[in-house]
Amino acid sequence: MKFSDIAVLILAAVMLLSVLYSCGKDAGGAPDSNIPAAQENAPDGGAADAETTRAPSGVEEGLDFGGAEFKQLHPEWQGYRHYFFADEENGDVMNDSIYLRKARVEEELNVEIISFNVGREDTLPPALIKTVNAGEDAYQQVFLHCIYGVSQLSSGGYLFNVDNLPYISLDSDWWNKKQMDVLRLGKNTHFCVNDTMIPCPYVIFFNKGMVDNYGLDNPYQLVYDGKWTLDRFIDMAGAVVEDINGDGVLDVNDQVGITANEISKYISFVTGSNQFITEKNDEGRVSVAMNTPKMVDIVERFYRLGAENAIYLCKVNQEESDFTMNTDRVLFNLGAITQAEFMRGYDVEFGMLPYPKYDEAQAEYRSLDWGGLMCVPTTVVNKEMTGAVIELLAYYSKDEVIPTYYGDILTGKLARDEDAAKMMDLLFDTICYEVGGNYFGFDAGFSNLFFCLPRLALEKKSADFASWYDKNEKVANKTLDKFYESLDAAENG
């Protein structure tokens, strides 16, 4: 059977297929309205024939690579476990759409796509570096963690300039050139952002029953009205705090406003407020730019929340990790969007929200992508095959994988109500990147700036941002200097 002849009609009702990456094509990195127009204009049914309506890909017809192997490398992490690779059909609609995409590309280009799972995310960079140093054309497409190895691989000369790959059509709507420009810190483009790369924003789950019982504002309506701000979020979180057992100590037996299974979930409050670690100058180089009145204010607000016992920081033991919204004693639970999969078994009715804006003057919500990054090693030999496969994987993702993920997983399996489905629109319309975090989130100086909110305000229980910043700025600047020294040598060598 020729997969190129299969009519692709995975969903009867496809939302606008460009939803996942539309924010990166707008000037501000987010839509002009708080709720995307795509939701209002979505069709009721009847997907158009993809073969006759979509723009042509950058790949010319008749390419034949003689059955060559196209090798992918990825870690056992995040969405890579579920939403990127499939070796056979198994009846699951998402798995089968991924398999269909792979099979169509293999058929069209006469290649064999093979995926290798390297294991833990921190083991991938050294494994890739080893093959590049040996001059081996071991892999043609690599999927990274969002932080591990990003700066090292980019500045060390291990990654190919994607701008020079043939058949790549960056101006097409299955590519997000704007966000690729955001992620570029030198003159070469090392990281791909296209419809193959399904984002993973964090989301705020809220307890509907507690909202009703305490007479709180409807969070969904606040979002629709553009009034879902830090002030509203903080007020609601503080309103439900109760020392249930009366022992004067906040623990898993009490009721809290906010909890999360680990501290990175709090970082999205910073980017949600349109505050970032770095800024770019006219030459495209980044510098530390976190010492702002806004950042001071955000730290002070969360410090007060912690002092008022509105936030509970979970530890690693089982009792702590079980202190979730399902206990019916947590108002807001911070988590990855895919967390809704197992939360479907909760007895508590919950909804899903984007992270709040800093204030109503902020034009758009911002949803930080915690998904991975895609790149190509410098040792790639067959650039024509590599460019063609990457282009077609993204091209067919737009018509096959993205609608399935959006329609079946997000607004189908994960969204519990119509409002939650609209929140999914908003989340994926407002995807952004934290370049300082992506490149330097685990590096000296930068790590404490990236994790400033949870480490300073919540763990150290301090609002002294000035001292914290002074202590880490110099080290972060040294990290930047070292990075650019290596990057310049790699790009100009």
72 with 18, same domain: the answer is: yes
What string of DSSP letters covers 330-343? EEEEEEEGGGHHHH
Of the pLDDT bands very low, low, confident and very high (cuts 50, 70, 90), residue 29 is: very low
pLDDT value of residue 100 = 96
Per-residue model confidence as pLDDT tens digits over 87-139: 999 999 999 999 999 999 999 999 999 999 999 999 999 999 999 999 999 99
158 with 288, same domain: the answer is: no
Higher confidence at residue 37 or residue 467?
A: 467
Q: Is pLDDT of 79 > 80? A: yes
Per-residue model confidence as pLDDT tens digits over 378-392: 999 999 999 999 999
> Does residue 211 lie in a domain region?
yes
145 with 11, same domain: the answer is: yes
The percent of residues in the chain predicted with pLDDT above 70, rounded, is: 87
Q: Which of 429, 449, 470 is the C-terminal boundary of a domain?
A: 429
29 with 167, same domain: the answer is: yes
Q: Is pLDDT of 406 > 80? A: yes
Of the pLDDT bands very low, low, confident and very high (cuts 50, 70, 90), residue 339 is: confident
Of the pLDDT bands very low, low, confident and very high (cuts 50, 70, 90), residue 433 is: very high
CB 341 within 8 A of CB 413: yes
Of the pLDDT bands very low, low, confident and very high (cuts 50, 70, 90), residue 337 is: confident
User: Mean per-residue pLDDT for 131-156?
Assistant: 98
Structural domain of residue 320, as residue ranges? 202-368+436-485
320 with 380, same domain: the answer is: no
158 with 171, same domain: the answer is: yes
Quickly tell me which residue has 């998904």 as its tokens. Answer: 371
pLDDT value of residue 317 = 54
Per-residue model confidence as pLDDT tens digits over 259-274: 998 899 999 999 999 9
Of the pLDDT bands very low, low, confident and very high (cuts 50, 70, 90), residue 35 is: very low
Q: Is pLDDT of 310 > 50? A: yes
288 with 358, same domain: the answer is: yes
341 with 474, same domain: the answer is: yes
Strand 68-74 versus strand 111-117 pairing type:
parallel
> Does residue 490 lie in a domain region?
no
User: Mean per-residue pLDDT for 450-459?
Assistant: 96
Of the pLDDT bands very low, low, confident and very high (cuts 50, 70, 90), residue 416 is: confident
Give the number of C-alpha atoms closer than 13 A to the C-alpha of residue 393, restricted to the C-beta side: 26
Total tally of structural domains belonging to the chain = 2
444 with 301, same domain: the answer is: yes
410 with 447, same domain: the answer is: no
pLDDT value of residue 320 = 61
Backbone angles phi, psi at 374, to 5 degrees: -110, 140
Of the pLDDT bands very low, low, confident and very high (cuts 50, 70, 90), residue 12 is: very low
Provide the H-helix boundaries in 256-316.
267-272, 293-307
Helices (H) and strands (E) in the chain, counts: 20, 13
Tokens of 325: 């919204």
> Does residue 491 lie in a domain region?
no
User: Mean per-residue pLDDT for 197-217?
Assistant: 95
234 with 260, same domain: the answer is: yes
Of the pLDDT bands very low, low, confident and very high (cuts 50, 70, 90), residue 32 is: very low
Q: What is the 3-state secondary structure (H, E, C) of 99-138?
A: HHHHHHHHHHHCEEEEEEECCCHHHHHHHHHHHHHCCCCC
399 with 277, same domain: the answer is: no
Q: Is pLDDT of 2 > 80? A: no
> Does residue 93 lie in a domain region?
yes
Residue 285: CATH number of its domain: 3.40.190.10
Higher confidence at residue 420 or residue 344?
A: 420
Of the pLDDT bands very low, low, confident and very high (cuts 50, 70, 90), residue 319 is: low
Strand partners, 336: 202
Q: Is pLDDT of 38 > 60? A: no
Q: Which of 414, 429, 444 is the C-terminal boundary of a domain?
A: 429
> Does residue 493 lie in a domain region?
no
